[in-house]
């Protein structure tokens, strides 16, 4: 036999294997034997199934390499790409909240802040720059929020935006000795004939012999009060009974929903009624004498709870069981022999 491989590697590009009466050329991994049976051509693994790469496949002479897009890292298998959770490192650089997405991340800011153009930091929103923040009068910007306030003579409405006129005359007649007139955002004192307004704008000076008698407003239609009218010297005042609060109009009475505050101190269920409220208890409980708390009912104290054998009281319920040799019937009360 002639060993063709002994001379110039048999003409093989890679590996020459001598056989009895012949020889074979073979190629290294990453190459395929050319039709001439001697030379080796590079295999482009990326042409078949992207080389098994999840994202980018790059062919090289005799091999290939998988790489991943930004936001991903190559898996240990050299093929798959795993998402990088940027938020795990220094919160992704976000000043506010970092949210990881597949292949990326996103910063966001709490209410009252806007995301800076750098996509990372949070800038305070000056709500007052847009339509005065919705405030009827004064808008004050704070870091991350804003606040509406009102001029003297007004009070901030419950909506936090509007300003309601304060009726100064409703409290101690505005400090006026005689007549108090409420205006929008202010009030004015005046005096009856025979008196002139003092420089303090509250008291009245005049003829000491001029007789001034108080008018009892409560004597006519109860002063317009829905509940109780109390006459004062030069004025009157409406008030409401227990369970009601005086409306902003100074005359009518609104029901107080006691249940809205700490559940009316009820242990379980609070039901608001007109001018009052009532506590009640779930099944298995009875209302305590204080009218607020709920006490467990021991059902076993009455006719053994209806149990044929053993009655066990639980908080808010009870349970029947049977003596040895018996099983509890489907009715949950009686016992059947085994």
- Give residue 207's pLDDT: 56
CA–CA distance from 313 to each of 230, 286, 305 (Å)? 56, 14, 9
- Give residue 194's pLDDT: 80
Class of domain 4-43: mainly beta
Over residues 187-232, the pLDDT tens digits come to 999 999 888 999 999 999 875 444 456 788 999 999 999 999 999 9
The CATH superfamily of 298-338 is: Laminin (2.10.25.10)
Residues 6+ apart with CB under 8 A from 307: 300, 318, 320, 321, 333
Over residues 226-283, the pLDDT tens digits come to 999 999 987 899 999 999 999 999 999 999 999 999 999 999 999 999 999 999 999 9
- Give residue 206's pLDDT: 77
Residue ranges in the chain modelled with pLDDT below 70: 207-213
- Give residue 209's pLDDT: 45
Q: What is the 3-state secondary structure (H, E, C) of the chain?
A: CCCHHHCHHHHCCCEEEEECCEEEEECCCCEEECCCCCCEEECCHHHCHHHHCCCEEEEECCEEEEECCCCEEECCCCCCEEECCHHHCHHHHCCCEEEEECCEEEEECCCCEEECCCCCCEEECCHHHCHHHHCCCEEEEECCEEEEECCCCEEECCCCCCEEECCHHHCHHHHCCCEEEEECCEEEEECCCCEEECCCCCCEEECCCCCCCCCCHHHCHHHHCCCEEEEECCEEEEECCCCEEECCCCCCEEECCHHHCHHHHCCCEEEEECCEEEEECCCCEEECCCCCCEEECCHHHCHHHHCCCEEEEECCEEEEECCCCEEECCCCCCEEEC
Closest CA to 243 of 257, 230, 229: 257
Structure token digits, residue 76: 């240990």
CATH of 85-125, one of 3.40.50.720, 2.10.25.10, 3.30.9.10, 3.40.50.300: 2.10.25.10
| Structural domain spans, the chain | 4-43, 85-125, 298-338
Question: Largest Cα–Cα distance in the chain?
Answer: 156
- Give residue 213's pLDDT: 65
pTM for the full predicted model:
0.44
- Give residue 235's pLDDT: 85
- Give residue 212's pLDDT: 54
């Amino acid at each position: 036999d002639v060993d063709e491989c002994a001379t110039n590697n048999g003409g093989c590009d890679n590996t020459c294997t001598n056989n009895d009466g012949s020889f074979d050329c073979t190629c290294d991994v990453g190459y395929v034997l050319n039709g001439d049976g001697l030379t080796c051509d590079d295999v482009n693994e990326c042409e078949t199934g992207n080389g098994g790469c999840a994202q980018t496949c790059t062919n090289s002479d005799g091999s290939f390499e998988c790489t991943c897009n930004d936001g991903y890292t190559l898996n240990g298998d050299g093929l798959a790409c795993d998402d990088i959770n940027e938020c795990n490192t220094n919160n992704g650089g976000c000043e506010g909240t970092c949210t990881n997405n597949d292949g990326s991340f996103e910063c966001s800011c709490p209410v009252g802040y806007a995301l800076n153009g750098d996509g990372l930091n949070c800038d305070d929103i000056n709500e007052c720059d847009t339509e005065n923040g919705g405030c009827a009068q004064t808008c004050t910007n704070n870091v991350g929020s804003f606040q509406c306030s009102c001029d003297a003579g007004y009070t901030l409405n419950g909506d936090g935006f509007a300003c309601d006129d304060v009726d100064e005359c409703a409290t101690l007649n505005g400090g006026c000795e005689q007549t108090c007139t409420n205006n929008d955002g202010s009030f004015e004192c005046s005096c009856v004939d025979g008196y002139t307004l003092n420089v303090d704008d509250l008291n009245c000076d005049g003829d000491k012999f001029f007789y001034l008698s108080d008018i009892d407003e409560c004597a006519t239609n109860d002063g317009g009060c829905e509940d109780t009218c109390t006459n004062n010297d030069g004025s009157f005042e409406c008030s409401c009974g227990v369970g009601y609060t005086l409306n902003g109009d100074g005359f009518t009475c609104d029901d107080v929903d006691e249940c809205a505050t700490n559940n009316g101190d009820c242990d379980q269920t609070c039901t608001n009624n007109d001018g009052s409220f009532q506590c009640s208890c779930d099944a298995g409980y009875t209302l305590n004498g204080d009218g607020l708390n709920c006490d467990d009912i021991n059902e076993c104290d009455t006719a053994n709870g209806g149990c044929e054998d053993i009655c066990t009281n639980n908080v808010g319920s009870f349970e029947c069981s049977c003596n040895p040799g018996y099983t509890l019937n489907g009715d949950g009360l009686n016992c059947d022999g085994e």
